[in-house]
C-alpha cells in the first residue's frame, strides 16, 4: 500500500521559530547476514529501561551499530512509521543499543527497511556513522507502508532523478559538495522537512539520514546533509556546496511531496 499523505515530507514539515533544532538543520544546509532470531521473543523492555537508551536521531553517533551491508542496493520500498519509542537491537533478539523516537526534527519518524527476519526488520538509522542500521520488532509500535518512489543522485555527473515504480518522473542538474567537502555516498532516505524561516535561501530544507564526512559539526549542527534549493541558479551543475545537494525549485517541490522514509541513493 502507499504511504498516507500525513507521512509525506509536505505533511511532515512544520513552520518553526528560530530554535536550536532549526538552527542545527539550517546551518548544515549552507552548503550481512544477521543472526537468526531467538526461538522465543525477548522479554519486552520496560518503559523505564528503554528510556535509559540514547535516541537514534541525526544528533547521535553509534560507532558499533550494524553497518549497512549493501549500500548500493535497492529495497522493496517498505518503510516503518515509528509510533512510540522503539528499541533498536544489534541483531534480531540481540542487545539493545538505542531507541528510535516517534519524532525526528519535529517530523514523524519514518525509516526504510533494508532486510527482514520474521517479525524483525533491519532499518536505516538517521545517526552517525553513515550506513548505521539497527533491528526493530514490527509487531507493535509501528505502521508499515510502501513508498513507490526512489531518489537517485549521481554525484559525479551532478544529476538528480526521481523514479516512481521504476519510471523516471523528473530529472535535473544539481549542485553537490566541493572537493574539500564532498557529498557522501551511500543509500539513505528523506528524514524530515523543515520550513525555512531564517535565511530564506530555500523555502524548505529536506534533511537526509546521512552526514558530511568532512564536518563533524557545522554551524552548531551535526553536519546532516540535506536537499535544498539556492537563489543563484549558476550553482546547479557545480561542486561547490559544503556537502548538501542543491536542486532547482521545481525539483524541490517534487521532493517535498514525497513520503518521508523514501529511499535516496547518493552514488
Both 121 and 177 in one domain: the answer is no
pLDDT the model gives residue 117:
97
Dihedral pair phi/psi, residue 131, rounded to 5°:
90, 5
**112, 146, 180 - which closes a domain:** 146
pLDDT at 38 over 90: no
Q: Indicate which residue of 25, 89, 211, 244 is catalytic.
A: 244
Domain-embedded: residue 20: no
Both 53 and 140 in one domain: the answer is yes
Both 187 and 258 in one domain: the answer is yes
Both 136 and 155 in one domain: the answer is no
pLDDT tens-digit series, residues 46-98: 666 898 999 999 999 999 999 999 999 999 999 999 999 999 999 999 999 99
Domain-embedded: residue 11: no
Both 132 and 162 in one domain: the answer is no
Catalytic residue at 31?
no
Looking at the chain, list the stretches that DSSP marks H as alpha helix, in order from N- to C-terminal side: 9-12, 20-27, 47-51, 249-257
Both 135 and 91 in one domain: the answer is yes
pLDDT at 40 over 70: no
Confidence of residue 190 (pLDDT cuts 50, 70, 90): very high
What's the number of domains the chain is made of?
A: 2
User: What distances in angstroms separate CA 57 from CA 54, 108, 128, 177, 228, one per listed residue?
Assistant: 9, 12, 9, 23, 20
Both 154 and 261 in one domain: the answer is yes
pLDDT the model gives residue 219:
74
Domain-embedded: residue 1: no
C-alpha cell at 257: 511531496
pLDDT the model gives residue 218:
82
User: Do 241 and 205 contact (CB within 8 A), yes or no?
Assistant: no
Domain-embedded: residue 22: no
- Judged by average pLDDT, the poorest of 37-51, 172-186, 214-228 is 37-51
Mean of per-residue pLDDT scores for the chain: 87
User: What distances in angstroms separate CA 76 from CA 32, 192, 231, 263, one per listed residue?
Assistant: 17, 21, 36, 10
Domain-embedded: residue 240: yes
Confidence of residue 41 (pLDDT cuts 50, 70, 90): very low
C-alpha cell at 35: 543472526
Residues 163-172: what's their mean pLDDT? 98
User: Do 137 and 113 contact (CB within 8 A), yes or no?
Assistant: no
**Within 13 Å of residue 41, how many CA atoms lie on the same side as its CB?**
12
pLDDT tens-digit series, residues 192-220: 999 987 777 899 999 999 999 999 888 77
Both 115 and 154 in one domain: the answer is no
What's 90's domain CATH number? 2.30.30.40
Print the domain residue range for 159: 149-266
pLDDT at 14 over 60: no
Higher-pLDDT residue of 66 and 19 is: 66
pLDDT at 127 over 70: yes
Domain-embedded: residue 26: no
Both 106 and 154 in one domain: the answer is no
Amino acid at each position: 500500500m502507499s504511504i498516507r499523505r500525513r507521512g509525506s515530507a509536505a505533511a511532515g514539515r512544520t513552520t518553526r521559530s528560530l530554535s536550536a533544532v532549526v538552527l542545527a538543520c539550517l546551518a548544515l544546509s549552507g552548503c550481512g547476514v544477521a543472526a537468526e532470531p531467538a526461538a522465543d521473543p525477548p522479554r519486552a523492555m520496560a518503559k523505564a529501561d528503554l528510556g535509559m537508551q540514547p535516541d537514534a536521531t541525526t544528533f547521535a553517533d553509534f560507532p558499533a551499530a550494524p553497518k549497512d551491508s549493501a549500500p548500493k542496493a535497492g529495497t522493496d520500498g517498505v518503510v516503518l512509521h515509528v509510533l512510540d519509542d522503539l528499541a533498536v537491537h544489534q541483531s534480531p533478539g540481540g542487545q539493545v543499543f538505542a531507541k528510535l523516537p516517534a519524532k525526528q526534527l519535529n517530523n514523524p519518524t519514518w525509516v526504510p527497511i533494508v532486510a527482514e527476519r520474521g517479525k524483525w526488520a533491519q532499518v536505516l538509522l538517521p545517526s552517525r556513522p553513515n550506513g548505521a542500521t539497527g533491528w526493530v520488532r514490527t509487531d507493535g509500535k509501528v505502521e508499515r507502508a510502501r513508498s513507490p518512489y526512489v531518489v537517485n543522485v549521481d554525484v559525479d555527473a551532478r544529476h538528480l532523478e526521481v523514479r516512481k515504480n521504476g519510471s523516471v518522473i523528473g530529472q535535473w542538474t544539481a549542485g553537490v559538495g566541493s572537493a574539500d567537502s564532498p557529498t557522501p555516498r551511500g543509500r539513505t532516505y528523506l528524514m524530515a522537512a523543515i520550513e525555512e524561516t531564517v535565511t530564506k535561501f530555500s523555502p524548505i530544507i529536506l534533511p537526509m539520514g546521512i552526514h558530511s564526512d568532512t564536518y563533524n559539526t557545522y554551524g552548531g549542527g551535526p553536519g546532516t546533509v540535506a536537499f535544498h534549493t539556492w537563489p543563484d541558479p549558476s550553482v546547479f551543475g557545480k561542486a561547490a556546496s559544503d556537502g548538501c545537494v542543491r536542486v532547482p525549485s521545481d525539483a524541490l517541490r517534487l521532493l517535498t511531496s514525497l513520503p518521508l522514509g523514501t529511499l535516496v541513493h547518493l552514488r
